[in-house]
């Protein structure tokens, strides 16, 4: 980790406030929380890819609950909802400031009537957590995207008035049709207007069939998390680019989770496919004045540094046009250590910190920026 004189900022770090966990406990379809007889912690089951194992684990042929050997999902430990545990995690890893956000799938599954009030109460609980540790915590608010537009817009105004709120966390479903939906433009404009940065985070991955018939019994969560999540982000941002969202809302600023998925690697290919697309050329969309994918990456997009290797991180720095557009993150409470004490250092964190040192040089100005300086500047964070 960085030296103690340098402020480390974690911009990718989640929580589920207790009231949100209660909602998950009351549900019978994903996302849900369920207890199993031989599992000490309740299990958090979020992903479509976990549904096949949920069915096998929960019920026998005669309908009785089994004691499965492989319980689905992941343990819902106190790391997910305890603020004391978040602060302990920060102290353990020398993190000065965390910008916390609700974890996936946010409020996506709530009805139009429920989501407005839930957003208000969840954002209030994030705000209260930040107020307990002034200067150490800020947050990205959750939006009630299943509600009426007016409700979404007023929740942006309300969140922007909360002193520790610096933006919103957003999934890729938007209002149900993805982020290239023109109905989202007033929302993106309102966010830009309020100087709220969008932290774009995946949840839905790719359809289960992509992983093949062996996956659910044999490959754990590797395929949806390592590949599905980054592809989802890549596709969502490329669709926004092709729809002209970044041109329509020039003030929009986004931080992309997981170093932009595969965008740093594929941006050149996206550009070439645009240039060589007969349909786009005929429609007059491939003009000399158009902003390229590279322009958008360098003007409107920041990338987190949650990629676990200097190889990916170097590509991210290049694609972003410089190390000053990258920001360190941990993805806590996901990816806890499985063979060492969860109260000690987490390998998932040290991997990301080491990647920064290897990619841009330990102690360099670039490393200081990625580890904290960039987030402090871009998100206007004031420490203790
Ligand atoms: N990281 C997240 O943020 N969410 C998941 O579901 C898994 C990893
Ligand atoms: Zn995350």
What is the domain extent for residue 47? 18-79
Whether residue 2 is contained in a domain is answered as no
**Is the bond leading into 247 cis (omega within 30 degrees of zero)?**
no
Does this model's pTM top 0.80? My answer is: yes
How far is the centre of ligand 2, averaged over its atoms, from the C-alpha of 13 (Å)?
A: 6
Whether residue 1 is contained in a domain is answered as no
Are 155 and 122 in contact by the 8 Å Cβ rule? The answer is no
What was the pLDDT predicted at 321?
97
Domain co-membership, 98 together with 221: yes
Whether residue 3 is contained in a domain is answered as no
Answer with the residue of higher pLDDT: 54 or 101.
Answer: 101
Domain co-membership, 175 together with 237: yes
Query: Which residue's alpha carbon is at the smallest distance from atom 7 of ligand 1?
Result: 334
Written as six digits, the tokens of 130 are: 């930040």
Domain co-membership, 102 together with 41: no
**In this structure, which ligand is nearest to the CA of 203?**
1
How far is the centre of ligand 2, averaged over its atoms, from the C-alpha of 334 (Å)?
A: 7
* Cβ-based neighbour number of residue 251 at 10 Å: 12
Are 112 and 147 in contact by the 8 Å Cβ rule? The answer is yes
Query: Which residue's alpha carbon is at the smallest distance from atom 4 of ligand 1?
Result: 104
Residue 96 phi/psi, 5-degree rounding, is -80, -45
Looking at the 3D structure of the chain, how many domains does it have? 2
Q: What is the pLDDT of residues 160-178, one digit of tens each?
A: 999 999 999 999 999 999 9
Q: What is the pLDDT of residues 89-136, one digit of tens each?
A: 999 999 999 999 999 999 999 999 999 999 999 999 999 999 999 999
Whether residue 312 is contained in a domain is answered as yes
Q: What is the pLDDT of residues 126-161, one digit of tens each?
A: 999 999 999 999 999 999 999 999 999 999 999 999
Pocket test for ligand 1, best of 203, 220, 228, 332 (most atoms within 8 A of CB): 203
Give the position, in ligand 1's atom list, of the atom nearest the Cα of 201. 3
How far is the centre of ligand 2, averaged over its atoms, from the C-alpha of 11 (Å)?
A: 10
Domain co-membership, 35 together with 115: no
Whether residue 167 is contained in a domain is answered as yes
Domain co-membership, 249 together with 312: yes
Cα–Cα dist 249/243, whole Å: 12
Domain co-membership, 163 together with 295: yes
Query: Which residue's alpha carbon is at the smallest distance from atom 1 of ligand 1?
Result: 334
Domain co-membership, 49 together with 194: no
Domain co-membership, 42 together with 186: no
Dihedral (Cα; 329, 330, 334, 336), 10-degree rounding: 170
Whether residue 157 is contained in a domain is answered as yes
Domain co-membership, 52 together with 89: no
Q: What's 268's domain CATH number?
A: 3.20.20.140
How far is the centre of ligand 1, averaged over its atoms, from the C-alpha of 71 (Å)?
A: 18
How far is the centre of ligand 2, averaged over its atoms, from the C-alpha of 64 (Å)?
A: 35
């Amino acid at each position: 980790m960085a030296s103690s004189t340098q402020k480390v900022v974690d911009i990718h770090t989640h929580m589920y406030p207790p009231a949100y966990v209660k909602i998950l406990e009351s549900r019978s379809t994903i996302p849900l929380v369920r207890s199993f007889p031989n599992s000490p912690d309740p299990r958090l089951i979020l992903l479509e890819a976990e549904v096949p194992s949920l069915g096998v684990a929960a019920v026998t042929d005669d309908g009785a609950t089994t004691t499965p050997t492989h319980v689905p999902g992941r343990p819902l430990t106190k790391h997910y909802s305890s603020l004391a545990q978040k602060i302990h995690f920060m102290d353990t890893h020398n993190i000065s400031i965390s910008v916390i956000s609700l974890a996936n799938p946010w409020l996506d599954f709530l009805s139009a009537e429920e989501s407005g009030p839930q957003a208000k109460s969840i954002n209030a609980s994030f705000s209260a957590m930040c107020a307990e540790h002034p200067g150490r915590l800020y947050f990205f608010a959750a939006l009630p995207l299943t509600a009426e537009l007016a409700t979404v817009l007023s929740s942006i105004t309300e969140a922007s008035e909360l002193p520790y709120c610096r933006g919103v966390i957003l999934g890729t479903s938007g209002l149900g049709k993805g982020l290239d939906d023109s109905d989202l433009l007033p929302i993106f404009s309102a966010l830009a207007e309020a100087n709220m940065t969008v932290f774009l985070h995946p949840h839905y991955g790719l359809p289960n069939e992509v992983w093949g018939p062996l996956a659910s019994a044999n490959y754990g969560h590797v395929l949806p998390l390592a590949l599905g999540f980054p592809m989802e982000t890549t596709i969502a941002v490329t669709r926004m680019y092709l729809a002209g969202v970044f041109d329509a809302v020039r003030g929009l600023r986004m931080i992309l989770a997981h170093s932009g998925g595969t965008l740093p690697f594929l941006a050149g290919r996206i550009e070439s496919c645009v240039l060589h697309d007969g349909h786009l050329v005929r429609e007059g969309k491939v003009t000399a004045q158009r902003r390229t994918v590279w322009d958008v990456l360098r003007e409107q997009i920041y990338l987190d540094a949650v990629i676990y290797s200097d190889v990916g991180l170097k590509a991210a720095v290049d694609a972003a046009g410089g190390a000053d557009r990258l920001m360190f993150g941990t993805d806590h409470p996901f990816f806890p250590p499985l063979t060492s004490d969860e109260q000690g250092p987490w390998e998932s964190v040290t991997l990301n910190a080491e990647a920064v040192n290897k990619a841009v040089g330990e102690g360099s100005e670039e490393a200081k920026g990625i580890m904290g300086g960039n987030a402090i500047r871009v998100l206007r964070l004031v420490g203790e």
